[in-house]
Structure formats: structure tokens, C-alpha cells
């Protein structure tokens, strides 16, 4: 006869390992939390380094733009002022030393006033980084000078500047306006000039060929 008090069995008791099998599979599939945190920390570190590098580049670019604006922001205004300086220079060169000696006291006083005004104007320009240069006797350089005509002269090295028609100006080391010059032709070839800064306002020798 069958024992009515007996409990039905499902076979679990016969195979103790079966109850532990799902738990073991779950433990094998779970990711390592330490490795996940390390990977996440590396990603954040990389983003931080990239952000710091971008900020440093932005800081340097901003400093450079501010410096350029400080040095070259008045370029357009300075070019307009150069017209005033040119007119003063032409007025003073219109009278040579002999005419000045023959002038009366009032005319001499006027000329002295114009010369003083010109000096003050150049001083103010230099204060803001604008400097005048006179390349007489130098080797012609298309980056700094603009040749207006050539002067046949075998006693002077070919390519040497023999006359300055209009002085040039630089601003903070860059060319603001090239000097208009006359260049010697026919003498021995002058030595090559040192490599200068590039300039957009350049011109070759007028009428040469």
C-alpha cells in the first residue's frame, strides 16, 4: 500500500546541483563593477584633457587677437594720418636752404612751426607703433619698397636705392606703407638683401623690361 503521509518529490532533492545552476549562471554574466568604474573614469579623464586643451587653445588665440587689435587696430586711421605727414614733408622740401636764408623772419617762423608740428606728429605716430623709414642707399626690396623709376648710374650698384620719393612707414614691425623710391641701373650688381617680412602693398620697377 502507498503511504498517505509520504510527500511527492520533484527530483530536486535527488540532484542538489540543479538548484545552484541558475545562480551560478547569473554570477558569471554579471559585469565586474571595478572594471566598469575604471573604464568610466578613463572616459571622463579623456574628456577633461580634451576640454583643457581646447580652453588653452582658445586662451592663446584670444591673447593673439587682442595683441593684434592693440598693435594693428589703428592701421586704417594711421594711413589717413600719413597723408597729413606727407603734405607737411612736401611743404618743407619745397623751400631749399638758400630760399630759407632769403626768407623774412615771419616766413622763417612759419617754417619753424611747420617743422615742429611735423616732429610732434611723427612722435605721436611712434608712440602708437608707427615709424617712418628712409631707405636711401639700401638694396631695393619689393617687400618694403615700391620702385617708381630707374636712374642710369654706373657708379652705383644696380638695384640700390638712390632717391626716396616718399618715405615708408611700418606699424609694430609690419609694413604699413612701402617707400616710393628710385633705383639705380647700370652699375655692378648689388648683393642680395636679407629675407624681409611679406607685404601686400608691393610693386616692381616701373617701366622696366
**Using CA atoms, how far apart are residues 139 and 102, in angstroms rounded to an integer?**
38
Q: What is the mean pLDDT of residues 4-8?
A: 56
**Using CA atoms, how far apart are residues 58 and 52, in angstroms rounded to an integer?**
10
**Number of neighbours of residue 170 by Cβ within 10 angstroms:** 19
Distance of CA 16 to CAs 7, 22, 23, 29, 174, Å?
18, 12, 13, 22, 90
Cell of 167: 618715405
Task: With residue 84 as reference, give the H or E element that holds it.
Answer: helix 75-93
**Are the CB atoms for 143 and 176 separated by under 8 Å?**
no
Residue-by-residue DSSP string for 1-67: ---TTPPP--STTT-HHHHHHHHHHHHHHSPPHHHHHHHHHHHHHHHHHHHHHHHHHHHHHHHHHHH
**Using CA atoms, how far apart are residues 150 and 162, in angstroms rounded to an integer?**
9
98 exposure class (CB count in 10 Å sphere: 0-12, 13-18, 19+): exposed
Give residue 104's region: left, alpha or beta (phi > 0; psi -120 to 50).
beta
Q: According to the model, what pLDDT value does residue 149 have? A: 92
**CATH architecture for residues 130-209:** Roll (2.30)
Q: According to the model, what pLDDT value does residue 162 have? A: 93
How remote is the C-alpha of 103 from its chain's centroid?
Answer: 50
Res. 22: pLDDT tops 80 = no
What are the extents of the domains in the chain? 73-128, 130-209
Three-state SS at 127: helix
In tens, the pLDDT along 124-183 reads 999 988 999 999 999 999 999 999 999 998 888 899 999 999 999 999 889 999 999 999
Q: What is the mean pLDDT of residues 68-79?
A: 83
Amino acid at each position: 500500500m502507498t503511504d498517505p503521509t509520504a510527500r511527492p518529490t520533484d527530483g530536486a532533492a535527488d540532484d542538489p546541483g540543479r538548484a545552484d545552476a541558475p545562480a551560478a549562471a547569473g554570477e558569471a554574466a554579471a559585469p565586474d563593477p571595478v572594471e566598469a568604474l575604471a573604464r568610466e573614469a578613463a572616459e571622463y579623464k579623456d574628456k577633461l584633457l580634451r576640454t583643457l586643451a581646447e580652453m588653452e587653445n582658445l586662451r592663446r588665440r584670444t591673447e593673439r587677437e587682442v595683441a593684434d587689435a592693440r598693435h594693428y587696430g589703428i592701421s586704417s586711421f594711421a594711413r589717413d594720418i600719413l597723408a597729413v605727414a606727407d603734405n607737411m614733408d612736401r611743404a618743407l622740401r619745397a623751400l631749399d636752404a638758400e630760399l630759407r636764408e632769403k626768407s623774412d623772419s615771419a616766413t622763417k617762423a612759419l617754417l619753424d612751426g611747420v617743422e615742429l608740428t611735423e616732429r610732434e606728429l611723427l612722435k605721436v605716430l611712434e608712440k602708437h607703433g608707427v615709424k617712418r623709414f628712409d631707405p636711401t642707399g639700401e638694396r631695393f626690396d619689393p617687400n618694403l619698397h615700391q620702385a617708381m623709376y630707374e636712374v642710369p648710374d654706373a657708379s652705383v650698384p644696380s638695384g640700390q636705392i638712390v632717391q626716396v620719393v616718399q618715405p615708408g612707414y611700418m606699424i609694430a614691425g609690419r609694413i604699413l606703407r612701402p617707400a616710393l623710391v628710385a633705383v639705380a641701373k647700370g652699375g655692378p650688381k648689388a648683393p642680395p638683401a636679407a629675407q624681409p617680412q611679406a607685404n601686400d602693398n608691393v610693386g616692381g620697377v616701373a617701366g622696366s623690361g
